[in-house]
Structure 1
Amino acid sequence: MPGGFADVGLSAAQNIAKELYEEAELKVSVRRLYGVRHKAGTSYSPDVRDFYKVFFLCDRLSGGEARPRLETSEAIFFPKDRLPPR
C-alpha cells in the first residue's frame, strides 16, 4: 500500500505476507516473529516521531528469486546461518 501503511484488519504477519507478494512477487508463509527493534535503541537521531521495526521469519511458498519492484530498492533472503542480529 503506498505510504507504508498496513491494511486495516490485517495482522502484522498477514501484512508481511501481502507486502512480500506485492513488492517482491513472493508468496510466503509467516513462521514466527523474529525480533522487534525500537527507534530509541538505535542510531536514529531523537525527534517527535517514534517507530518499531518488526521482523518475521518466513518460508517461501512460490516465486522465483526475490526482486525489487516499484517501492523496493533491494530484495534478498538471508541464509539461516547469516541472519541479522536481533
Structure 2
Amino acid sequence: MGIPQKSLVIGACEIACHYPELSLNDAAGDALQLAEKIRLYGIEENQKKETVFIAACRFVSADKDLTPQKAVEKALRLWDIIEA
C-alpha cells in the first residue's frame, strides 16, 4: 500500500498553503514526488510511511530549497530519533 489519498491531499495542502504562488497541480506534484521517494525506501509499515510522508511535506513547506530526497531523509532521521 502506498500513501493514502487522504494523506496525499493533506501533504499537498501543506505545501500549497506555504507557497501560494504554486498551482494546486504543482503542490500535488510535489506531494506525489515525496511519496515516490518514500516508496523507493521500501518501508513496509504503513504508519511509518504515512508519518514520514507528512513530516517530509512539512519540511519541504518550511524550506523551499530542500530537495524531496533531503526532506525524506530528514523525516526518516526524525522517525529514528523518536523511535529510539
> Would you say same fold, with TM above 0.5?
no
Q: Pick the structure with greater CA Rg.
A: 1
Q: Under a length normalisation based on structure 1, what TM-score does the superposition of the two structures give?
A: 0.26
TM-score computed with the length of structure 2 as normaliser: 0.26
In terms of fraction of residues, the more helix-rich structure is 2
